[in-house]
Structure 1
Amino acid sequence: MSVKKVNSNNPRVLAVQTLSRVKDGAYSNLQLNQVIKKHQLSAADRSLLTTLVYGVIQHRLTLEFYLAPFINPAKIDPWVRELLYTALFQWQFLDRVPKHALFNESIEVAKIMGHQGTAKYVTAILHKMDREGLPNLQAIDNPTERLVVEYSVPHWLVENLISQVGQSKTLAILKSINLAPKQSIRVNSALSTDDQVVASLEEAGLKVKKSAIVPHAYLVTGGHVATSQAFLKGWIILQDESAMLPVESMQLNSSGQSVLDVAAAPGGKTTQIAAAVGEAGHVLALDIHQHKIKLILDNAQRLGVGNQVSAQMLDARQIPNQLSQQFDRVLVDAPCSGLGLLRRKPEIRYEKTLADVEKLAKLQGEILSASSHIVKKDGIMVYSTCTILQQENSDVVQQFLAQHPNFELLATKTDFNLKSDRQEKTLQIYPDDYLTDGFFIATFQRKE
């Protein structure tokens, strides 16, 4: 997507530039971080930039529906369309900026990034939308199609969710995924205590609330955690609450356990394991990419568990051929579609297809099978994904059990006994359950 290069600290200009790069395939969170580091922005401008970028991506199909009657797609520059989306998003989803002000600001962005003709075009489109009114979502007759447009989620995903969890649960999930993600941290028990972390964060002016999902975790608001002294000292790690649950279910202790983390980068769960097994235990972390091995080891060093962690580049499917050691515990946090992360990575919904899900499910089954070869007798293997579809979760589990009768499925346990009334032994966390990332966890034990 061609964008005129302009040097500006205007958050609306930066938002359009960032959205254009994301539309070309860049990751929204990485692009935002780069832009924020490069530009000197006030806290208010950083907030506006982040809100605009995530807001437009989250509501893209809705914004397309609103804008479609007013433009000729063949005659509009892609970046101008992104600019109009930012105006529409502010108009329809934010109430902080008056309509006349956001129209004027959008026209000013058109002048900065384009020329006078671009500004006139944007002015005409905005005034025409205001004069004629936007199309009505409720006029969409097909109820599934209405959900697709209203919550900006592709048709195949809506249909799969409805078939798997029903209409009302699907609606609850869809309503939740466009809410702002929570900023959660895990206390690194290898270097600090809960009390020390809370005191440090509060001294820095941050508001801290204890997690109701996992122990030694907190929700933090009112500032940027990654610049805090607690973070810089390695006392905490940024991690979603539900992402802490797979390690919690591994039944770890400090008796000297050997643990394999099969797909470990960037090392959040690796370091959580290392802190749990203590100095007597050891974690071998695997990843298929060499540059991510350094990332894992760097994180382990920062969090004071470097002595307990080693890392190796290896395709997990090659475990039976490459590893001879047997492990007490194995974590298979498998590569997946990431559809449980839509709140944090909203562009995933447009990038993934059902074919991708089916291909990933095959890969997950292969990795799980390969990993099972190095589990000790009575050892535990945990399978987890950050997705919410059965194809990558319960279907993979059932296929594995059918092919590996020497493993049995245990009930996945959590310290706070989440979903204690569920019938199934696996644990599925949906994004609307606790307003965390969506996650799935299955716990296996080798019987022979």
Structure 2
Amino acid sequence: MKARRLAYAILNDVINEKQYANLALKQRLQEVDLIDQPLVTSIVYTTLQHQRFLRHLWRKHTVSKPDRRVAVLLDSACAQLVKMDRVPDYAVLNESVELCKEIEKHSVKMVNAVLHKVIQNPFEVDSSLDPLEIFAIEKSLPTFVIKLWINHYGEEQMRKIAEALMEPARLCGRINTLKIDPEEVFDTYGVEKGTLSPNAFYMEDNLLQSDWFKEGSVWIQDEASQMVSDFVEAKPGMKVLDACSAPGTKAAGIACHMNNDGWIDAVELHEARNRLIEQKMRQLEIDIVHVKTMDARNIKDEFKQEYDRVLCDVPCSGLGVLRRKADIKLRLKPEALDELQKLQAEILESAQSCLKVDGRLVYSTCTLNRKENEGQIKQFLKKHDNYVLIDEKTIFPDQYGSDGFYMAKLKRIA
């Protein structure tokens, strides 16, 4: 009961109080025994991953809209009943009713009745709806995102993206080549070499419990994200600007390519996140990364054409990482995407002024949205005839099992 109670409390914090799921879990997971922590985590992420479908499932059995806390309780209970195999129905039913008595006594009968109906008809979506709407509900995605992907990539690719983002994300490691020979890792039993990045790997055992991870010989980073550092093509002795650096993994990858020889300015807006970057660099034994707390939109006021390489891994809608960060779906609104595009353009405009002639600028996002990706680069090149596009890549999550990413490489020619 304690595990499900905590899972509900965390979900209420995330769904109703707008907290981030990873931070809410980090803050409260210690409230239950170690043995129960995986169950709490699983309930939270399963509920968030399937929330739109789950709400559709139970709403058709209610006459009136329940209290928002009761709605989250129903989300959580339905996730356990429909999407989690190891949880007995009777336990979910009984504990949900008991919890409802504490949350909203007047809703106990309704919760009991609704959950019994869900058990009887666990996968039924209203067939009278538009086929695209049904698909969006089944994949727990906003309908406007489904339509956006069709418009940008076609219906076939949209379906591939949506299906891939429902699959569990694999934990990928990145080898710290400053501390360990990649071949030592690749030759280890149970290790699988990655596809997109030369120092990416997967392993059968728990990577987070490995000596490699504890010693800073590897770190956790999705393979497509690792590819961004490779794309920068930094070399020893260069001066590099990482304009939106947190959590610092891309700066670390760049430092490895530079053999810890040169200078990297890692710019991040939030002081707390900068302290985490500094801590990470100490663990990885990287000493060429210099953290600066400032707004990336103001970089142009401090630096002028000093850098051989500039990376703009800008804030984005995160449509490529929804399976890792399902709570993003709670905040997705068309108008929010428009605001992000304005911010991205401002950061790119500021950072470009810091690049030397013949230098390279890499723009990247972890989203799948042409307006935030190709559209930004197209508008930038219209405005700046002293830049040319060298290369650009879109990585779809269905291709390699990685997150979805976009990256473009520009050269300053004057």
TM > 0.5 fold call? yes
Aligned positions of 1:44-193 closer than 5 A: 45-74=36-65, 76-110=66-100, 113-114=102-103, 120-130=109-119, 133=121, 136-137=124-125, 139-193=127-181
Match of 1:296 among 277, 280, 295: 277
- What residue in structure 1 maps to residue 396 of structure 2? 430
- The equivalent residue for 1:414 is none
Quote the Cα distance in structure 2 between the aligned partners of 1:362 and 1:213.
30
Would the aligned equivalents of 1:57 and 1:347 in 2 still touch at CA under 8 Å? yes
Q: CA deviation at 1:114?
A: 4.9
* Cα deviations by residue, 1:196-224 (Å, 9 ceiling, x for unpaired): 55689x7xxxx53221221111123443x
CA distance in 1, matches of 2:47, 2:55: 10
| Equivalent position of 1:281 in the other structure | 262
The answer on whether the counterparts of 1:17 and 1:79 sit within 8 Å (CA) in structure 2 is no
1:249 is matched with 231
Q: Distance in 2 between matches of 1:297 and 1:109?
A: 43
Per-residue CA distance 1:124-152 (angstroms, 9 max, x = gap) = 33224445x36832613312211221111
Identity of aligned residues (%): 32
Distance 1:14 1:198, change over 3 A: farther
Give the aligned residue type for 1:96: R
Shift of 1:101: 4.5
1:5-404 paired onto structure 2 within 5 Å: 10-23=2-15, 24-42=17-35, 45-74=36-65, 76-110=66-100, 113-114=102-103, 120-130=109-119, 133=121, 136-137=124-125, 139-197=127-185, 207-223=190-206, 225-254=207-236, 256-306=237-287, 308-324=288-304, 326-404=306-384
Q: What secondary structure is seen at the aligned counterpart in 2 of 1:137? A: coil
Contact 2:5 2:99 in 1 (8 A): yes
Asked whether the 8 Å contact 2:62–2:110 carries over to 1, the reply is no
Equivalent position amino acid for 2:71 in 1:
R
Q: 1:297 to 1:39 in 2, by over 3 A?
A: same
**CA–CA distance in 2 between the matches of 1:403 and 1:164?**
23
Equivalent residues of 2:240, 2:308 under 8 A apart: yes
Q: Deviations over 1:282-322 (max 9, x none)?
A: 1111112233322222211111012x111212222222221
Equivalent position SS for 2:320:
helix
Secondary structure of the residue that 1:12 maps to in structure 2? helix
Q: 1:168 to 1:344 in 2, by over 3 A?
A: same
SS of corresponding position for 1:390:
coil
**1: distance between equivalents of 2:70 and 2:203?**
36
Aligned to 1:408: 388
1:195 CA displacement: 4.7
| 3-state SS in 1 of match to 2:216 | coil
Q: 5+ residue gaps in structure 1?
A: 1-7, 412-425
In structure 2, relative to structure 1, the CA distance for the partners of 1:320 and 1:98 (3 Å cut) is: closer
| Whole-angstrom distance in 1 between the partners of 2:268 and 2:167 | 32
Deviations 1:66-100 (A, max 9, x none): 111222444x3433322222222232223334434
- Give distance in 1, aligned partners of 2:71 and 2:104: 15
TM-superposed deviation, 1:115 = 8.4
For residues 195 and 40 of structure 1, what CA distance do their matches in structure 2 show? Answer: 38
CA distance in 1 between counterparts of 2:92 and 2:32 reads 22
Three-state SS of the structure 2 residue aligned to 1:340 is: coil
- Match of 1:174, SS state, is helix
Change (3 A) 1:236 1:134: closer
What is the TM-score when the length of structure 2 is the normalising length?
0.92
Runs of 5+ unmatched residues, structure 2: none
CA contact (8 A) 2:360 2:412 kept: yes
